[in-house]
Amino acid sequence: MYVIIVYDVNQKRVQRLCKYLRQYLNWVQNSVFEGFLTESQLARVRKGILSRIKESDSVYIYKLPDDRWLDREIIG
């Protein structure tokens, strides 16, 4: 499946989370990652995220069956 992860975490944890997500996904922009993951990889990533964030942080995970369903427009 194609996954997009967007996060807003405390500045103290940004580098740690970014470094972790780079192991699994492509870094697109600050706080945005995307790429293909299997269900088991996504479960592992979700568990890793939970161990690196606090209650005040937020992480959004968008899942698509594959990238055919993604209509992306990049400007600039």
State residue 48's pLDDT score: 96
Asked if 21 contacts 33 with a C-beta cutoff of 8 angstroms, the reply is yes
Give, in degrees to the nearest 5, the angle at Cα 43 between 50 and 26: 85
Q: Which pTM value belongs to this model?
A: 0.88
Q: What is the pLDDT along the chain (76 residues), one digit of tens a residue?
A: 999 999 999 999 999 999 999 999 999 998 999 999 999 999 999 999 999 999 999 999 999 887 777 777 777 7
Give CA–CA dist 31/13, Å, rounded: 11
State residue 15's pLDDT score: 93
